[in-house]
Amino acid sequence: MDPKLNEIETSPWNEIFKVVFFPDRIYHAQYLNATRSSRYRYNVQEVRSYIDIIVIKGEVYLDGQFLSNFLRLEYKSSRLVEQAREKLRFVKKQLIAWVKVLPENEANTAEGRVKLYYCPWTDAFQVEIWETLEPPENSYHDFQILDQMGYNRPITCLRELKPALRDIKGLKRVELAFRENDRNIPAGYQITDTDAAWDNAYLRSHQEPRTQDPSSPQNTIDDQNYLIDFQRGWFLQTPDILPVRYRNAMMDDSNPDRNPDNIIEMRWIVQRELGGSMVFFHEVTIPPGTVEGTHQHIGTEELYYITQGEGIAYMRVGDDPATDSFPTVTRDVMGLGEYEFKELPVKPGSVIFTKSGGMHGIRNPGTEPLKFVAFLYHTT
């Protein structure tokens, strides 16, 4: 963080905006591996996070001389811990990350695997992948750091990734997935890829408008990994983004609202580029006479903000006591059967906010398109 921001952040008139300048713990040098020796200094260039993951890229200096570019991975492992428990195992002091680097120069795209080690300083599993472990000419590594360096060590070098790390500013994106260690501790038996517990972003996929056929599987891209994006900004024109079309979205076969013409559209504006716990931000169009089925959120929260048209939103009875005075109807909930809902009239400026465990849906009974923007995030 630029030191000049300290004065801005502490000014009384900027108190309400302090969250904009929220300082990150990862800039504290003592959390980085080589700083146990004062001979090493890090120049952190970019930091990104997604749920349990922090990725840092930058440069390392030794005795004031440039030594190496680096990529640091930190992982809290809450998802992997749950996956391992299902196999009656515990995540111990080591695990493995699959890493794919996506630089500007696509010829240097590469992937590899690296071990992560638990660090009590960060309360996370971590590793630093350096471009090189060789000291500058006429120099030498500090003995306090050498014990961390080498193959399957907290400071390591992956041959496959070296071309991408050579241009650290050109390294724009990183894909990641995490699995258990290759050996069970303390039993010592080998854990294969097929048997291992994986955290691959909750079987993550994203949507692309590859065809306008409603509900086509061609529009679902099966990523099965996390994406860390170092780009700093996007300028997007929503009308330029083709929608993905869905027939009878969020409905079981027995839902009375199902029919071949019940097609809604979603423009997926931002998806995997988001950080934190965000999953997507998109624009939804409900054409006249169509419905998005009522459904329950588990482990996610979603907010709808109506921007155009008028319609009826459905919120389960009791989810918001302030809706008690509105009409009550019975609605079919995807996968769960029938529940009672409140019918809520919506128009531009209306907000439907649904927490984990809540239920919602929306209908357009009018003659003009009903549009809203929505964002969804994990509650973990």
Q: Give the residue among 136, 130, 129 at the shortest CA–CA distance from 65.
A: 136
Q: Is residue 24 part of a domain?
A: no
In a domain, 158, yes or no: yes
Q: Across 317-369, where does the E strand assignment appear?
A: 328-333, 337-346, 351-354, 359-363
User: Same domain for 135 and 274?
Assistant: no
Tell me the pLDDT tens digit for each residue of 23-78. 555 456 678 999 999 999 999 999 999 999 999 999 999 999 999 999 999 999 99
Residue 246 banded pLDDT, cuts 50, 70, 90: very high
105 falls within a domain: yes
- In-domain check, residue 222: no
Same structural domain, 173 and 282: no
Tokens 């934190």 identify what position?
276
Split into its structural domains, the chain has a count of 2
| pLDDT tens-digit readout, 107-124 | 999 999 999 999 998 899
The tens digit of pLDDT for each residue in 304-333 reads 999 999 999 999 999 999 999 999 999 999
d(CA 311, CA 309): 7
How far is the C-alpha of 170 from the C-alpha of 186, rounded, in Å?
Answer: 42
Judge whether 207 lies within some domain. Answer: no
Rounded to 5 degrees, φ, ψ at 67 are -110, -50
In a domain, 368, yes or no: yes
On whether residue 246 sits in a domain, the answer given is yes
Tokens linked to 330:
């019975």
d(CA 71, CA 309): 48
pTM of the model: 0.90
Residue pointed to by tokens 């590899």: 112
Same domain, residue pair 139 and 179:
yes
Among 199, 217, 240, the domain boundary falls at 199
Q: How confident is the model at residue 16 (pLDDT cuts 50, 70, 90)?
A: low
pLDDT given at position 365: 97
For residue 361, the enclosing domain spans 231-378
Same domain, yes or no: 239 and 173: no
pLDDT (mean) for 68-90: 95
| Residue 324 CB coordination number (10 Å) | 10
2 or 233: whose pLDDT is higher? 233
DSSP-derived secondary structure for 89-112: ----SEEEEEEEEEESSGGG-EEE
Q: The dihedral of CA 158, 163, 167, 170: what is its sign? A: negative
Dihedral of CA atoms 277, 283, 287, 289 in degrees, nearest 10, equals 30
- Of 196, 202, 225, 192, nearest to 86 by C-alpha is 196
Alpha carbon distance 251, 215 (integer Å): 12
